[in-house]
Chain A
Amino acid sequence: AQSVSQHNHHVILSEAASLELGCNYSYGGTVNLFWYVQYPGQHLQLLLKYFSGDPLVKGIKGFEAEFIKSKFSFNLRKPSVQWSDTAEYFCAVRSSGSARQLTFGSGTQLTVLP
């Protein structure tokens, strides 16, 4: 069975600081990888996804993530965060053996100080 680990539970940054949120998964086969964002009181929104091809994927709002297969990682990055990026960020993985089932990490709360 697949699992997802997000080691940073809460990250606090000042505006304009650079961001990197870690995500590691455990599954030996082909995976699809996702980052979702949940703003306070709102539903989850897709930030970006990786299915195949270029391991560096760009998403909305200036976010990007890099898939490193050898490290089973899919870290989320943003060069300069804004106060409006304050939210909960979830990494998720879908394995080839479960075409529809997403497994989520425990989430990382990002707080950006103005």
Chain B
Amino acid sequence: DTAVSQTPKYLVTQMGNDKSIKCEQNLGHDTMYWYKQDSKKFLKIMFSYNNKELIINETVPNRFSPKSPDKAHLNLHINSLELGDSAVYFCASSQDGRNQPQHFGDGTRLSIL
């Protein structure tokens, strides 16, 4: 059983388009995250939601909007895609509590033409 699942796995689209990436976790975790991994493999947190509420919102363009319909889902919508958005986006989740590690999804490789 996949614990943290993201769809799609690959996304190729043109500049200016709007796209969404979905994430679901079946671990019963309270907190979900979106990370961006650039071409140099550097991982940077973008957003974090706890029980459907935004708790971390790093400096990302307003074109990125996370949506959490329930605590098991955290989707990422991106408007007006730009070349610099090309990256691998990872969803993760964790249980509340200090001593809880994060569990990652397989990633979505986004390529902007």
Contact = CB atoms under 8 A, between A and B. Distances in A.
Interface of A: 32, 34, 36, 38, 42-46, 49, 51, 88, 90, 96, 98-104, 106-107, 109
A109 B42 CA distance: 12
25 contacts: A34-B101, A43-B4, A43-B104, A43-B106, A43-B107, A44-B104, A46-B103, A49-B101, A51-B99, A88-B41, A99-B98, A100-B31, A100-B48, A100-B50, A100-B55, A101-B45, A101-B56, A102-B102, A103-B45, A104-B35, A104-B44, A106-B40, A106-B41, A107-B41, A107-B43
A102 B33 CA distance: 10
Interface of B: 4, 31, 33, 35, 40-45, 48, 50, 55-56, 90, 92, 94, 98-99, 101-107
Contacts, number: 52
Nearest to A30: B98
Nearest to A44: B104
B40 to A, nearest CB: 7
Contacts of B31: 100
A102 B45 contact: yes
Main secondary structure of the interface of B (DSSP, over half): strand
A90 B43 contact: yes
Contacts of B92: 44
A104 B35 CA distance: 10
Nearest to B91: A43
Main secondary structure of the interface of A (DSSP, over half): strand
A22 to B, nearest CB: 16
Contacts of A43: 4, 90, 104-107
Given A44-B92, A96-B98, 15 more contacts: A32-B98, A36-B104, A38-B41, A43-B4, A43-B107, A45-B104, A51-B99, A88-B41, A98-B56, A100-B33, A100-B55, A102-B102, A104-B35, A106-B40, A106-B42
A78 B82 CA distance: 41
A46 B101 contact: yes
A104 B28 CA distance: 24
